[in-house]
Amino acid sequence: MRIATLNFSAKLGLSGFLITVLLGALSAVTLIGLLYSQHDRGFNIPAMDRIQSHYSDSPLISAMKGPMYQYVTEDGDIDVIAKWIAAGAKNDAFFKDEVMYILGEDCQKCHSRRSQMSNAMPSMPFSSYEDVVQYTEGGYSWTQMARTAHIHLFGIAVFLVLVSLIMAYSSYRPWIKTLLITAGWIALWLDIGSWWLAKFYSSFAFVISLAGSVEIVAVCAMSGLCLLNLWVRLPAVLLEPVEQQAA
């Protein structure tokens, strides 16, 4: 069976799915660009140091370098808090004098249980040592990791297996199919495995970026190629020779 020989309505159904996957990939790329750049709209190139910070810094530091950067009065404030965390995040004089001072000036107007700000975050108060210390562990916590990893693995596996199967029944040469299908799955495991490893070795942020890009390229290439195969006559160099297809 080849997807090119399906009837019109089956082709319509598959095309709807493949176009939706392409749109999903486009929104994922947009989101990644927005999360890891200084901008809040349009398409952005993610900054490597932001990605590294997200996966290896503590939530406190990575928020101050990332989405909460607009509220940080001085860049030096981030260094002060990073220094306190590197020294073990203890409930000492440095915490009371320096860290709480910065959090009080920059953050507590929203991050307090009784904040009246319209976009406040009362569920994440920074009012005491106990409040703050939970956000000082580097990288994802075990809970955060397990939560994000299982959603990603299950979610991506479901559409990746469908895209892989549609690709497998396309008319392309076998090496093209094998390459793209293998790349899709291996990149997925590498990407998510590296989230965890980046917690300990921040250079794994490069593997995250590379594997994530390979994943997106493989999914888009398979979806795009399958769409073409459904509706367009393709150049013979891409196609498996006809006598083998019949077998």
Q: Could you tell me which stretch among 26-34, 101-109, 145-153, 160-168 binds ligand HEC (CB under 6 A)?
A: 101-109
60 binds ligand HEC (CB under 6 A): yes
Residue 143 interacts with ligand HEC (CB under 6 A): yes or no: no
Which of 17, 129, 135, 169 binds ligand HEC (CB under 6 A)? It is 135
Among 3, 85, 107, 187, binds ligand HEC (CB under 6 A): 107
User: 227-244 b/e with 16+ CB inside 10 Å = b?
Assistant: bebbeeeeeeeebbeeee
CB distance 57 to 70 below 8 Å: no
Site for ligand HEC in 158-197 (CB under 6 A): none
Determine if 139 is a binding residue for ligand HEC (CB under 6 A).
no
Q: How far is CA 186 from the centre of its chain?
A: 16
Least distance (Å) from ligand HEC to the CB of residue 73? 8
d(CA 148, CA 213): 18
Nearest to 155 by CA among 215, 242, 206: 215
Q: Is residue 50 near ligand HEC by the rule CB under 6 A?
A: no
Under the binding rule (CB under 6 A), the answer on residue 119 touching ligand HEC is yes
Q: CB-based burial of residue 137 (10 Å sphere; 0-12 exposed, 13-18 middle, 19+ buried)?
A: middle
**Residue whose pair of structure tokens reads 């979806």 in the numeric block:** 223
Kindly state whether residue 89 participates in binding ligand HEC, applying the rule CB under 6 A: no
Stretch that binds ligand HEC, among 87-95, 112-120, 181-189, 202-210 (CB under 6 A): 112-120
First to last CA, the chain: 10
Q: Which of 51, 63, 85, 197 binds ligand HEC (CB under 6 A)?
A: 63
State the binding string over 30-49 for ligand HEC (x if CB under 6 A, else -). Answer: --------------------
2 binds ligand HEC, rule: CB under 6 A? no
Q: CA angle, 193 as apex, 187 and 194 as ends, to 5°? A: 90
10 Å CB burial of residue 175 (0-12, 13-18, 19+) is exposed
Q: How far apart are CA 102 and CA 77, in angstroms?
A: 7
**Residue number, 13 or 122, with CB nearest to ligand HEC:** 122
Segment near ligand HEC (CB under 6 A); pick from 22-30, 62-70, 158-166, 221-229: 62-70
Instruction: Identify the sign of the CA torsion 94, 96, 99, 102.
Output: negative
Identified binder of ligand HEC from the candidate list 3, 18, 21, 72, rule CB under 6 A:
72
Which parts of this chain interact with ligand HEC (CB under 6 A)?
59-60, 63-64, 67-68, 71-72, 106-107, 109-111, 117, 119-121, 124, 135
